[in-house]
Amino acid sequence: MPLLLIIVAAVFFVTAWIWYRSNTLTPNCTWREDRRRAGPDEAFFHCLVCGAEERLPKGKQPRHCRRQQ
């Protein structure tokens, strides 16, 4: 039943997308990594939309817009 599998996969992705959107405070927040401003064991990100800045441990990425919190 390939059709059933496709339907199940579609429902799963739509649900995941809605869940992701509801957990993201500002969908328009766009984070960019700035390696020049990062320390040896951290990652530095700044938001192109609101100008927020965030330092995180290496390998992590910010998900929320800080200005909206």
Question: Which residues of the chain form contacts with Zn ion (CB under 5 A)?
Answer: 29, 47, 49-50, 52, 65
Residue number with CB closer to Zn ion (11 or 53): 53
Residue among 69, 35, 65 at smallest CA distance from 50: 65
Residue number with CB closer to Zn ion (43 or 52): 52
Residue number with CB closer to Zn ion (15 or 24): 24
- Is the Cβ–Cβ distance between 30 and 15 less than 8 Å? no
Rounded least distance, CB 42 to Zn ion, Å: 19
**Beta bridge mates, 67:** none
